[in-house]
Amino acid sequence: MLDPIKPFYFDLTDSERQEVLEATDRMLQSGQLMLGPETTAFEASFADFIGTEHAVSTSTGTSALEMIFRAFNIEERKVAVPTNTNFATVAAIMHAGGTPLLLDMDADTFMPTADMLAGCIREHPDLAGAVWVHIGGLIAPDFVECVGMLRERGMFMVEDAAHAHGSAIAEGRAGALGDAAAFSFFPTKVMTTLEGGMITTNHRFIDEAARSLRNQGKGGAKFGNDHTDLGNSWRLLEFAAALGNVQLRKLPDMVRRRETACRRLVPHLERAGIDFCRFDHMEAFSGYKLILRLSPDDARPADEIKAAAREMGVIFGGGVYDKPCHLQPVFQGLTFDRQRLRTAETWCPRHICPPITSGTTDRDVEAIGECLGALFSAAVHTGQSA
């Protein structure tokens, strides 16, 4: 039997690993282990790639989100956020003193819609802003409309771009479409620094606030060593920045390989009658997650389908996400109407994501396609519909 197809691939060649080791040796000799030349270069290159004036590296994507919300001073203010997101998106609002207003999602995109946002604004005219999650690397077709809706009312739009490194639409890349964005470089993401994050923005006040907040609130050169903000230790290690520089250089190629694998899988999905979240409207798709929707007529739980796929040598990774935030125990203190979040409740547990990485080969795509075809053909033959 061939080695199983896995949802994780650390994309680093021998020569690239040597480059990181040489950078590590330089920093160990210099003694500057954080906020050094590797970090400076990484931030400049990332801002240039995304197309923003500023980029600030952080310890995690979660801390990047919290710093953005703190820069917008959301304490005791309301922020709209999808219920279909990672814990961190909602938690960052709360850690910054804000109140999350949970939005439902559309089954076609797994994201809220402009109409949902408009309804939230009508009900909460004191809304501070919103955070939109580019789920799986997808940018919603109506995202630019959502940004404009908020801006014309003096409200902000934050992009949670943890999945969207390299994703783009005609108007620009993810991370340059709203007022600020947070990226994650966790090991499973499109590119990694092992642990880390990045803030991108065109707003100088966010850049300055983030640089202070990540460094224990030291407000910058003009304040000397004084602490002017109630910050934290949210800096990126110099080693992580060195790895980031290597990963960023190859990011366009990694995204191209992911998107190519997704496009080659589409005919298999269509033949098997498997519905999925489409990305045809995008200029580039990071391919972090290809979201396959399970038919309501198919009674099998997602875990059962994934277990059957594993037996066939195809290991499905985590979804986006199998349980919406309003069902997570930690958020039961929030005020929300479950009836208005029913689409997320229905579809979050009814999707699967095949193992697509920058290391996915043509042979892998064929194996994944054959696996899905067999699984969903079997469903039809047993009286279920795919």
Model confidence pLDDT, tens digit, residues 352-377: 999 999 999 999 999 999 999 999 97
> What pTM was estimated for this model as a whole?
0.95
* Residues with Cβ within 8 Å of residue 271, at least 6 apart in sequence: 373
The pLDDT score that the predictor gives to residue 381 is 40
Q: Are 125 and 132 in contact (CB under 8 A)?
A: no
Residue 178 has pLDDT above 70, yes or no: yes
User: pLDDT tens, 275-287?
Assistant: 999 999 999 999 9
d(CA 359, CA 156): 37
The pLDDT score that the predictor gives to residue 382 is 43
Nearest to 313 by CA among 2, 20, 105, 42: 2
Query: Distance between the two ends of the chain, CA-based, in angstroms?
Result: 28
State CA 294 to chain mean position distance. Answer: 22
d(CA 220, CA 318): 41
**Alpha-helical runs (H) found in the chain:** 14-30, 37-50, 61-71, 87-95, 114-123, 143-151, 204-213, 238-272, 302-311, 342-347, 362-381
For 97, 138, 157, 229, 294, the CA distances from 70, given in Å and listed in that order, are 8, 26, 14, 11, 39
Helix (H) or strand (E) holding 352: strand 351-352
User: pLDDT tens, 20-43?
Assistant: 999 999 999 999 999 999 999 999
Classify residue 287 as left (phi > 0), alpha (psi -120 to 50) or beta: left
* Residues with Cβ within 8 Å of residue 347, at least 6 apart in sequence: 105, 107, 110, 293
Quickly state the pLDDT bin for 97 (edges 50, 70, 90): very high
* Residues with Cβ within 8 Å of residue 333, at least 6 apart in sequence: none
The pLDDT score that the predictor gives to residue 221 is 63
What 3-state DSSP class applies to 323?
coil
